[in-house]
Amino acid sequence: MVRRSLIGLLMPVLLGVVIPLDSARGLERSPVPAGGPGYPRITNFTADEYQGHVQSWGFAMDRHGVVYVANSQAVMRYTGAGWQHVNVPGQTVLSLSHDDGDDRIYIGGVGEIGYVSVAAPSDPSSVRPWPYQSLTPLIPDTVEFTSVWHSQITDEGAFFISSEYFFHYDGEKIHAIPAQARFTKLVVIDGDVYVREAPFGMKKYTGGELVFCDEGTIFGYTTLRSVIELGDGATLYVTYFDLLIYDGQEYRPFDNDAAEYLRANFIDEAILLNDGTIAIATRNGGVVWLDRDGSILQIFTEESGLVSNTVYGLLQDRKGSLWVATINGLSRIDLQLPFRHFDTRHDFSDTANRITSRNDTIFVSASSGVYMRDSKGNTRFFDGKAFCHQFLHHNNDLFVVCGGTLHRFIGNGFRQVSENVYTTAVTSLDRETVLMIHEIGITAARLTGSELEPVYHTADFNTRPNSVKQCSSGYLWIGTDSRGLFRLELDSLDGEITGHSFTRYMYGGWPGSDMPRVYVSVLDGEPLFLTRYHGILRHEPETDSLIQEERFGPGFLVTDRQYLYASQDPSGNVWFNSGGGFQAAIKQPDGTYEIQTTLLNWLDISQINHLYADPEGYVWIVDARQLVRYNPMKHFDPEIGFRTEILEVLVRGDSLAARGANSTPQVLPYVDNDLRFTYAAAAYLDPARTRYR
């Protein structure tokens, strides 16, 4: 499987002196928002993988949630673990429709119509495809037809059209009606069947005949592609170029932000999604995702990870994923997952280190600069010409450390405000003073005008810090990657720093103290110490010792794993990265925490560089390749059922059946009641849940 959802990431960084906004490299916005709020996960399937033709035309889904593909070589069935083929005379499959009543997939091909029963006729509870059943022998030899492009199902039966004929299968016989000119589209509106015939317009199937509709004459010379019932008496008619709303009296254009884009790229199909939004397939421009008010939610193209810009068919599956049939393979867009990915598709081209937010804008520090992405989806890069990492919010200002110096964001760029003292961690002491910690000491400085003026400096700290936080007692806690934890106490007189002292923790007798990593986070305003092999710790002032933090329960008292990052969201929930995974401590009304294993563990993460809960409640993950935004407020049920495929049945070690799709049911004597099964329980969305036995 080719996965393009997690494409490389991030970013260059800040400045040596001053880079005003107009001289920074701005990345211009496209006429339509490309990445907007980030891309959902996109999974591509190539012809080599599904062993079919590169070109597919459409989809159907049975009542068990299994997806079927109309491919130019066969009907393809996706089990979640692999692909099964149902061969059809003439090979090419152009249209599919599912009948919920008898759980059949009806098929239109080249000079061929038929169906596949999903369940065995004698056992409706079975879930395997049975052999293809052709309906073509029911059609008189005098009826000659070619490609069957469209099929539909109603309570009256199955309907098909080719250019030459309209077919109705009632379960026993086929009624064929010839075209006066050329049939081009078959649709169902409010339970009734309509066909578009060029150049006359729409006809309704009633009483065994096709009758012209006065309201359908508009489509005589206008190619109809799809019809969507919007509710409240409104119907959306989708043509090759435009979207029209019909209210029962008149047609009017559907005002939408993608109108010009759709006319330029030609519409092929449109479907209504579960959340009421609209997905539109285009011949040249990929997939357009519209809100009901006509605003563009997103456009998916080859540049954003789609397998091809030429799209013929769409389907939304049971879990909310959008399947895309193209001229060069298949794509699946996981719209419903609460993740959005930011990477090279958003002009992030460097390795990201830290992330923060300010005034609805996300700032990301990276290997050579800082990326800024605003709420409208515009990305701008500030070239720091050096490695940038920690941010500091201080007295309504934003600072970042780049190349060992501190830079201040002044609205139209970043300006260097400190000398190069190889700063690696920074924090606020008070409203006027910041503390910079570097590999050879500490420097306290006050911001006067546009410059930081040092007020205290010492060179007796020779450890590289990774984090620093201040507690309510005024102590500063410094975490390191290899030398444990330090507490810094500053002496002062009349508001001026006069001296300092360091106290070191986690060394000497501590197990694993040869390389004790400690990262200092903050919970409810007080420091929290995340360690390797010592769990989560806090400081107990009465004994001046570090003790286990117990408020999160026994799951976080484990000391044989590494705790890397923690961040608290506005609701008081705490998000952790530890033990190679993610955990959420959800705060309860009584102040206790409920530990949950979050959907973040579905992510394909290579290297965690930062974890950040922003003021809006989103949780951001920074890894070496991408930035991921997780929305805990978006409901998604990961426990929606998925299919289990029986691959093999064994009796006393001998095979009774293998992939029993086409096997004759067998009855075993009681003596052979000791059976063994091999199976694949395959989840479409979470490959980690796929199990083989």
Q: Which two tokens stand for residue 189?
A: 């509106």
Under a CB-based contact definition with an 8 Å cutoff, are residues 96 and 76 in contact?
A: no
The residue among 666 and 624 whose pLDDT is bigger is 624
> CB within 8 A of 262, min separation 6: which ones?
241, 242, 243, 256, 280, 282, 285, 288
Picking from 58-72, 201-215, 667-681, which range would have the lowest pLDDT averaged per residue? Answer: 667-681
- Give the model's pLDDT for residue 61: 93
Query: Which of 443, 413, 408 lies closest to 425 in space, CA to CA?
Result: 443
Under a CB-based contact definition with an 8 Å cutoff, are residues 349 and 633 in contact?
A: no
> CB within 8 A of 685, min separation 6: which ones?
319, 321, 334, 337, 602, 638
Under a CB-based contact definition with an 8 Å cutoff, are residues 350 and 12 in contact?
A: yes
Distance CA 234, CA 182 (A): 28
Under a CB-based contact definition with an 8 Å cutoff, are residues 479 and 519 in contact?
A: yes
Distance CA 489, CA 558 (A): 31
Alpha helix (H) residue ranges in 38-126: 47-50
> CB within 8 A of 672, min separation 6: which ones?
651, 652
- Give the model's pLDDT for residue 654: 65
Q: How many CB atoms lie within 10 A of CB 322?
A: 22
Residue 557 pLDDT greater than 90, yes or no: no
The residue type of 215 is: E
Distance CA 538, CA 311 (A): 56
Distance CA 196, CA 229 (A): 17
Residue 321 pLDDT greater than 90, yes or no: yes
Band of pLDDT at residue 553, cut at 50, 70 and 90: confident
Under a CB-based contact definition with an 8 Å cutoff, are residues 110 and 146 in contact?
A: yes
DSSP per-residue letters across 523-589: ETTEEEEEEBSS-EEEEETTTTEEEE--TT-GGG---SSBEEEEEE-TTS-EEEEETTEEEEEEEPT
* Longest distance between any two alpha carbons in the chain, whole Å: 106
Domains along the chain with CATH numbers: 47-178 (2.130.10.10), 644-692 (no CATH)
For tokens 């001296």, what's the residue? 499
Provide the 3-class DSSP secondary structure of residue 661: helix
Residue 658 pLDDT greater than 60, yes or no: no
422: which strand partners?
Answer: none
> CB within 8 A of 188, min separation 6: which ones?
152, 153, 154, 194
Angle 570-574-575 from CA coordinates, rounded to 5°: 115
- Give the model's pLDDT for residue 493: 87
Alpha helix (H) residue ranges in 184-318: 259-265
With a pLDDT cut of 70, the percent of the chain lying above it is 84
Burial class (CB within 10 angstroms; exposed 0-12, middle 13-18, buried 19+) of 533 = middle
With a pLDDT cut of 90, the percent of the chain lying above it is 59
Residue 384 pLDDT greater than 90, yes or no: no
Residue 372 pLDDT greater than 50, yes or no: yes
- Residue-wise pLDDT for 236-274, tens only, equals 999 999 999 999 999 999 999 999 999 999 999 999 999
